[in-house]
Every structure is written in structure tokens, then in C-alpha cells.
Chains A and B, each alone.
Chain A
């Protein structure tokens, strides 16, 4: 699997307008909906599911990245969005540091292997210092897409 298999290019936000966690989650879900990854009618439900997941335990696993994710019956095909925040967002991260990169992932229900495969490839790249550093410096969607094309692939 590779990032490009599920990251929706039209849902890459090189400069998030949102300044807080819930706003960033909504912005990326709306972007995915705009790209056709989920029906507009499901946006509120999916946003609520993602926020609930964060409240149960932050997906800000440190190093300035967060990976909010949820499974939802309205998702037909796994879809991911990327948001970049120059100022940083408080995600209640495990290391108490701001988050600059948000990888948001929506999965269909009953596909645990596919979900684990996507998490594997997302975190394999986010663990790389160079990948995170380059991503934080990508000012445009095109630059991010190019970086994704060169990123590690996984299982």
C-alpha cells in the first residue's frame, strides 16, 4: 500500500484556516466531502465520531503530528486528508506539544486489515524526521503531492 492509494489530493490543505482541533477536523472532513469521499449529509456525524475518538485519547502521538481517524458506515472507500498548520494546533498531544501536521483517515467498517495497512504506511512515514520536516515546509498542495509520490510504501 502507498499513501497515494487513499490520500485524496483535493483534500490536502497546505494552510489550514482552523486554529483549534475541532475546527481542523471539520475543515478536513468538509474537504473530503467536497472531493466526493463522503456525502455532505454525513459530515456532521463523521466530525462528531472523530472528535469523540480524540476525547477518548488523543491521536497526537508526538513529534508535531496527529492522526485523527474513524470508521463510518457512510464511507465506501478508505480516504485520507492532510492539513498543515504553520502556527500549530493544540491537539492535547501525548508530548503536550502543538501539532503542525494532521493526517485524517476515514475507513469503511469491517475492513480492519486495510485500516491497519493504512496506519502502517502513515506512521512509517511520519516517523521519519526528514518526511516530517519536508512536509512542514511544503507551502503548496503540489509540493505535498510531490512529497507523497516520493514517500515510503508499506505492506
Chain B
């Protein structure tokens, strides 16, 4: 089973609020891999990348470092897609 992991930061002004969290989970669910998200900064947290509630609880503001990890057959593709979504600011500003 493959493992992949990459780091990025929250880029959009509003941070990881409800809508981006849902978008993230929608993309994560396109993959069979298990997805884990670690947020850094002053109050670090860990969330199941397929749980909207857990992602919202991260309360990751703009600039917060994120590490996205995937475990499974499509781990590389999953991490690449999720990083792309975060760095495209979830379609926001």
C-alpha cells in the first residue's frame, strides 16, 4: 500500500470554513485512500480528510501550514488533487 504526504498552507482569506471543508471532503471521497490532514500553527490539529465536521474543527486560518497524508492505492493522486484544491484557494480569494 502506498503512502504519500505533502505540505502546503491555507491560502484563501476566509480560511477553512464550512464550504471549503465540504469541497475538500468531496475531493477526498473520490479516492479510496485514507486521508489525514494535520494543521500546524499555534493550535495544531488532526482531522480525517473525509469528515466535514473534523475538517471544520481544524479552524485553519489563512497562512496555517497543512500536511496532507494519504494511505492507499491512489495515495499519490489523492494528495496531488487535494494540494491543488487548497492552493487554488477553493475557488475563493
Contacts and interface: CB of A to CB of B under 8 A. Distances in A.
Interface of A: 56-57, 59, 61-63, 67, 69, 94, 112-113, 115-117, 119-120, 123-124, 126-127, 154-155
B16 A116 contact: yes
Given A112-B62, A119-B17, A127 B53 contact: yes
Given A69-B18, A112-B15, A62 B61 contact: no
A61 B53 contact: yes
B32 interface: no
Contact of B52 (A56, A94, A116): A94
13 contacts: A94-B52, A112-B13, A112-B15, A112-B17, A112-B62, A115-B14, A116-B15, A116-B16, A120-B58, A123-B53, A123-B56, A123-B57, A155-B43
Interface string B27-44: 000000000000000010
Interface of B: 13-19, 22, 43, 52-54, 56-62
Contacts of A62: 52-53
Contacts, number: 51
A117 B60 CA distance: 9
Nearest to A65: B53
A114 to B, nearest CB: 10
Contact of A119 (B22, B43, B54, B56): B56
B53 A112 contact: no
Nearest to B64: A116
B53 A155 contact: no
